[in-house]
Amino acid sequence: MACSSRKRVSDVPTSSGSTARLCSGAVTGPRRTLALLSALVALHAVAVVVQAVLAGAYLDGAGTAMSVHGPLGLATAVVAVAQLIAAVLFWRPGRGALWPTGVAALLLAADGFQVAMGYTRSLAVHVPLGVAIVVVSLAFATWALHSASRLTLPESDPGSSPQPSESTGASA
């Protein structure tokens, strides 16, 4: 079965031990690794949004907000490490795209630098970098959760429901 050019092809293991070639815009190879990556990307996005709330609360006069903002910043960087590991697993052995590893590496570097800029009170860097981290994290989470939702609901993509066929077919 030929796939149209815009659809991705992936070989996924079936329960019978053979591989099935899925021709769909919805279902691609990585499943468990994408679920793990999505969970961590979502957690990271929630953490950075909470950081923005805490920074605002501090500027509004809630001094205690800073006693949470600092440690949570460190925790966010730790989540970024886990996110990077999940992104690598998504690539190999998950056979997913490589670019999420790049984004996760960038976020880890940004988070680490952001914590340093926060503790040294370099707000001219800390504030815009914080916004940039929020933007990238939310865009990354949008992609991850969108991909994950298409994995669990492949039939929501009309006209391209997954049609497994043996990879030993003519196209293989």
Residues in contact with another protein by the rule CB under 8 A: 49, 52-53, 55-57, 59-60, 121-128, 130-132, 134-135, 138-139, 142
3-state secondary structure of 122: coil
Q: Which is nearer to another protein, 20 or 141 (CB)?
A: 141
Q: Kindly state the smallest distance separating residue 140's Cβ from another protein, in Å.
A: 11
Q: Which is nearer to another protein, 48 or 87 (CB)?
A: 48
Q: Which is nearer to another protein, 3 or 81 (CB)?
A: 3
- Which positions ≥6 away from 153 have C-beta within 8 Å? 26
Q: Kindly state the smallest distance separating residue 80's Cβ from another protein, in Å.
A: 18
Cα 18 off chain centre by = 29
- Evaluate whether 112 touches 77 at the Cβ level (below 8 Å): yes
| Distances, alpha carbon 123 to alpha carbons 94, 114, 118, 120, 127, in Å | 39, 10, 7, 8, 6
Q: Kindly state the smallest distance separating residue 172's Cβ from another protein, in Å.
A: 29
Q: Which is nearer to another protein, 35 or 66 (CB)?
A: 66
Q: Kindly state the smallest distance separating residue 83's Cβ from another protein, in Å.
A: 18
3-state secondary structure of 72: helix
